[in-house]
Structure 1
Amino acid sequence: MSPYLAVNIGGAELWLLAEKAVYWPAERALLVADVHFGKAAVYRALGQPVPHGTTAANLAALDRLLARYGVDELIFLGDFLHGPAAQGSATLGALGAWRTRHPALRITLVRGNHDLRAGDPPAALGIQVCAEPLLRGPLALRHEPAPHPTHAVLAGHVHPVYLLRGRGRQRLRLPCFQVGQQVTLLPAFGAFTGGYALARKAGVQLVLVGDEGVWCLPS
């Protein structure tokens, strides 16, 4: 099992990482989808008993990736903040402290549906925000998984997972990439995001994410 799988999408070599992210070596860019910063805070504001520390866990995961790969730009494929309550002082304070540790890093956010409700991140975070699609080389970077007429699409939104079935009622729910001819889906990067179970279908490759690495599901 490998820590990443190199694939060719639209003529671009991309690495599908076990950390539920994509590294684009030629652009020195790291792409993640559906972090949903502040989601736990949103649920706690509604009186739901949900875990603490998810923002810190997500930022620590980003730190490990930035330290491991040569990254000049971090691109969020939508749903950076979960909702208006994520604009609270605790979440934004953690994000601000993290940003000060990476002052030279270019950060781009392609707005997703949750970003439209939550509002753009504060200007102090130094994040360039744009509507989808963001065209980069042969790729169209989006949140919604809709095909593009001229570019291969990388998208999020779906939070794809696959159910591995064992004996009896044993099941293992794993995040996955879905690599298609027109649209490639990224798994949700966030630690508190849930997932939508995908089925195998012709012309699509599922790449499963486990604790030790990634691997292609046999056709």
Structure 2
Amino acid sequence: MISVATSFNLLNQDLLLLPQKAIYWQQQKALIIADVHFGKVGHFRKAGIAVPRDMEQSDLATLSDLVHEYKPEKLIFLGDLFHSDMNNDWDWFILWRSQFPGLQIILIRGNHDIIADSNYQKLNIELHDELLIGPFLMLHHPLPDDKLQNAGGYVFCGHIHPGVNLSGKGRQSITLPCFAFGSRQAIFPSFGKFTGKIAIHSRQADKIFAVLKDKVVAIA
């Protein structure tokens, strides 16, 4: 199945919204992703919860496909790259990183990013609490309205795993992951497949793009 990116111009910057729940920023040749939560599968399996073992490899394979297709110079993770302490899934991540040694990788620390900085630095991964690139301020947590007024740029963030609820005529409903763009802040959907979604209200955003299996569609 062929996936279709949706073009969106924001602050004179050209963004491609991808059905893989990522954004490719054309001017910066940057791939931006939030809330991967690598290691979550291993974390749950260690606790005795039955989770398919190949889910982590599936997320890494999707990430590899995006890098091969868009050939970014930068890969920016908006926090929660790894779910918790190191486990066997870290070895898969090391192997994945070795395939793209020339790719600049930036991690904006999230609340789940508790692995020691030295482990990321060994993989040549930059670490920041926040980072301004062009007009965009990269964060993990969304900012409340009062703090957005003084933010140094338009905020790109994740953390809440946004979703949008769609209802049909027969009382059917489904919550889809979404990109939610407000006047000063955009919240990214979670990239990781083993994550949930929290429905947001359309009034919280000026523009909402729902993520389907093979395309991204504007719904508000």
User: TM-score, normalised on structure 1?
Assistant: 0.91
Q: Which residue of 2 aligns with 1:144?
A: 141
CA distance in 1, matches of 2:89, 2:190: 19
Q: How far off its partner does 1:15 sit?
A: 1.4
**1:207 alignment partner AA:** F
Q: Which residue of 2 aligns with 1:104?
A: 102
Moved more, 142-151 or 29-38: 142-151
Residue of 74, 92, 95 corresponding to 1:94: 92
Q: Which residue of 2 aligns with 1:83?
A: 84
Q: How far off its partner does 1:35 sit?
A: 0.1
- Provide the aligned length of Structure 1 versus Structure 2: 213
CA distance in 2, matches of 1:107, 1:145: 21
Structure 1 SS opposite 2:44: helix
Which stretches in structure 1 are left out of the alignment for 5+ residues?
Answer: none
CA distance in 1, matches of 2:157, 2:211: 17
Moved more, 99-108 or 199-208: 199-208
Q: Which residue of 1 aligns with 2:124?
A: 126
CA distance in 1, matches of 2:53, 2:142: 30
Which runs of 4 or more aligned residues in structure 1 lie more than 6 Å from their structure 2 counterparts after TM superposition?
Answer: none
Structure 2 SS opposite 1:150: coil
Residue of 167, 190, 193 corresponding to 1:188: 190
CA distance in 1, matches of 2:110, 2:116: 10
Evaluate the alpha carbon distance shift between residue 16 and residue 49 of structure 1 in structure 2; reply closer, same or farther with a 3 A threshold.
same
Q: Which residue of 2 aligns with 1:214?
A: 216
Task: Give per-residue Cα distances to partners, 1:41-78, cap 9 Å, x unaligned.
Answer: 11122222222212101110111111111311100000
Please say if residues 138 and 157 of structure 2, whose CA atoms lie closer than 8 Å, have aligned partners that are also in contact. yes
**Over the residues paired in the alignment, what is the CA RMSD in angstroms?**
1.8
CA distance in 2, matches of 1:145, 1:119: 24
Evaluate the alpha carbon distance shift between residue 42 and residue 71 of structure 1 in structure 2; reply closer, same or farther with a 3 A threshold.
same
1:164 pairs with 2:162: no
> Sequence identity, in percent?
37
Please say if residues 10 and 151 of structure 1, whose CA atoms lie closer than 8 Å, have aligned partners that are also in contact. no
Q: Which residue of 1 aligns with 2:180?
A: 178
CA distance in 1, matches of 2:152, 2:82: 30
Which stretches in structure 2 are left out of the alignment for 5+ residues?
Answer: none
Structure 1 SS opposite 2:203: coil
Q: Which residue of 2 aligns with 1:66?
A: 67
**1:139 alignment partner AA:** F
**1:143 alignment partner AA:** H
CA distance in 1, matches of 2:152, 2:111: 23
Please say if residues 10 and 139 of structure 1, whose CA atoms lie closer than 8 Å, have aligned partners that are also in contact. no
CA distance in 2, matches of 1:129, 1:16: 24
Evaluate the alpha carbon distance shift between residue 137 and residue 42 of structure 1 in structure 2; reply closer, same or farther with a 3 A threshold.
same
Q: How far off its partner does 1:202 sit?
A: 6.6
Task: Give per-residue Cα distances to partners, 1:10-64, cap 9 Å, x unaligned.
Answer: 3322111111001011111100000000011111222222222121011101111
